[in-house]
Amino acid sequence: MGGLLASKMYDTAKGIVINLISMIDEFGHVLNGARSYYTNRSQPPLLSSMVYDIYLRTVDLEFVRNALPALIKEHKFWNSGFHSITIQDAPGGNGYHSLSRYYAMWNEPRPESSLLDEKLASKFVNSNEKQHLYREIASAAESGWDFSSRWMRDSTDLSTLATTSVLPVDLNVFILKMELDISNLARAAGDYRTAQHFFEASLVRKKTVNSIFWNPEKGQWLDYWLDNDSYKGAHTWDSRNQNHNTYASNFIPLWIESFYSDSKQMKKVLKSIRNSGLLCNAGIATSMINSGEQWDFPNGWAPIQHMIVEGLARSGLKEARALAEDIVARWLQTNYVAYKHTGYMHEKYDVQSCGDFGGGGEYVPQTGFGWSNGVVLAFLEEFGWPEDQKIDCYLTS
């Protein structure tokens, strides 16, 4: 979407959104892909961001009015049923927090990879255990991070996937973004009641994100493990359940104004990201764990660079802006060098050295990828080609 808007292809951007809205009308959520066998699995909820970005460029209020009911329906999808979890403050506090998790309505092998899934489940004899694993696999696909040590109890064993036991930082931040987007869009469309309602929801969720995920010692927001993924009552918060591994998703709150505008917290986060080990020669690594899965070290993915860079650049802190420009320079150069060497853009890059594309996971690395193209265009539009050639990209490749 960022690439289409940078290319002024507004009608194409709107056409994509209209297609996604038709899925919400029919199925209640944006499908994981536009195929009949994906009806029981969502995408991470980023449609509101698409609508909002298109609105900022086109000021098309008719388009906004048509999109709002679908966005509100999608918000409900993520805040009800199996996607919704309640956490109660640790003893001593008396707050209740409503959060969301990935949870695919699917307990069979993924149709697109059924042989792999059956093989992975073959270590279980009991059919309940097999079905449980199938749901965890499909839920990891719903998260977009398929697969990653983030969802695994043991990062060396994919059959320990436990996606539905994780309250993910990024998902909950996307829902906060959805609330702000709906609020802004509704205000633009003259629906002040809806605008106020979703603005208040965003304030509550900001508090929730900081209560459940923020870890002041690490200066990061950490995913939270549930003890029991089938328990329907309120889970009691316990600091030991925060996942202390460093993931790029621990910094996704930076993308949202609610967090990047808090300069005191930002300074802590800035220090933390510098010391995290995630900043590599050719971009931000997905994690520090080399599990062999594609959403882990040493892969870097375009949308993650984009979200973190946007937050750093908008925070108003000079040093954060400088870090954003440094990441952009590295990312643009590694994409360019890989393109020159291979003739392709790639879906992911190995951030250890300039010009290397990524690997790992269950399928052969894909070329020509939309989000890699889109982020390069969005970076070029906002930052231009890096003039400063201090980064040694051409030499190390």
Ligand X SMILES: *[C@@H]1O[C@H](CO)[C@@H](O)[C@H](O)[C@H]1NC(C)=O
Supply the residues annotated as catalytic: 146, 347
Query: Which of residues 36, 94, 126, 228 is near ligand X by CB under 6 A?
Result: 228
Interaction of residue 60 with ligand X, rule CB under 6 A: no
* Measured distance CA(180)–CA(187) in Å, rounded: 11
Tell me if 254 sits within 8 A of 311, measured CB to CB. yes
Interaction of residue 89 with ligand X, rule CB under 6 A: no
Interaction of residue 108 with ligand X, rule CB under 6 A: yes
The least CB distance from residue 107 to ligand X, in Å, is: 5
Residue 40 or 290: the one with the smaller Cβ distance to ligand X is: 40
Structure tokens at 196: 């106020």
The least CB distance from residue 101 to ligand X, in Å, is: 15
The least CB distance from residue 313 to ligand X, in Å, is: 41
Query: Which of residues 58, 88, 98, 107 is near ligand X by CB under 6 A?
Result: 107
Query: Which of residues 10, 16, 40, 159 is near ligand X by CB under 6 A?
Result: 40
Interaction of residue 94 with ligand X, rule CB under 6 A: no
* Measured distance CA(187)–CA(46) in Å, rounded: 19
Amino acid at 2: G
CB hemisphere CA count around 390 (13 angstroms):
4
**Binding region for ligand X (CB under 6 A) out of 7-15, 228-236, 242-250, 253-261:** 228-236
CB hemisphere CA count around 204 (13 angstroms):
13
* Measured distance CA(290)–CA(280) in Å, rounded: 14
Residue 105 or 188: the one with the smaller Cβ distance to ligand X is: 105
- Residues contacting 344, CB < 8 A, separation 6+: 338, 367, 368
Interaction of residue 88 with ligand X, rule CB under 6 A: no
Interaction of residue 397 with ligand X, rule CB under 6 A: no
Interaction of residue 131 with ligand X, rule CB under 6 A: no
Query: Which of residues 105, 188, 288, 380 is near ligand X by CB under 6 A?
Result: 105
Interaction of residue 147 with ligand X, rule CB under 6 A: no
Parallel/antiparallel/unpaired status of strands 84-88 and 235-236: parallel
**Angle separating helix axes 302-314 and 370-383, nearest 10 degrees:** 20
* Measured distance CA(267)–CA(286) in Å, rounded: 21
Q: Identify the three-state secondary structure at position 334.
A: helix
Closest CA to 385 of 342, 332, 320: 332
The least CB distance from residue 212 to ligand X, in Å, is: 20
Residue 94 or 230: the one with the smaller Cβ distance to ligand X is: 230
Tell me if 390 sits within 8 A of 339, measured CB to CB. no
The least CB distance from residue 160 to ligand X, in Å, is: 16
The least CB distance from residue 82 to ligand X, in Å, is: 11
Total binding residues toward ligand X, as defined by CB under 6 A = 8
Interaction of residue 113 with ligand X, rule CB under 6 A: no
CB-neighbour burial class of residue 122 (10 A; exposed 0-12, middle 13-18, buried 19+): exposed
Q: Which residues here bind ligand X, judged by CB under 6 A?
A: 40, 105-108, 228, 230-231
